[in-house]
Amino acid sequence: MHQFDLRVYYEDTDLAGIVYYANYLKFIERARTEFIRALGIDQTALRDAEGIVFAVRRIEADYLAPARFDDALTVVTSPEQVTGARIVLNQAVRRDGQDLFIATVTLAALGETGQPVRLPAKIRRLMQ
């Protein structure tokens, strides 16, 4: 499990003063990047050396409660499943331990042609 802390800025909110729905996707994207970095995976080096990038294939999300300007949030990321070319992650955006937004995100490993490729064994081990 990985935790990523962030603060809601004015630019993240809509006219009603709550976090605009699409910004939750940005929050969990940042958290995924930091989760992968914390595992010791350099995504730029992976792309340059092996031609592999991660792409979001599917997101299933639920908006449970609103976040507002200046809220301190934590995004929790944990792997659910790792297969040959796919990673499934559970992510939750929380305020004071309360889930505000939850998502199951499926990442695909893609090669230079955009076709699915097998994840290196080291990455599969790190993700499990």
**Rg of the chain, C-alpha, whole Å:** 16
**Helix, strand, or coil (residue 58):** strand
Among residues 106, 104, 24, 36, which one has the least CA distance to residue 65?
24
Cβ-based neighbours of 66, under 8 Å, separated by 6 or more: 18, 19, 100
Among this protein's residues, is 14 annotated catalytic?
yes
Amino acid found at 52: I
Q: Which of 14, 48, 70, 99 is catalytic?
A: 14
Q: Which residues are catalytic?
A: 14
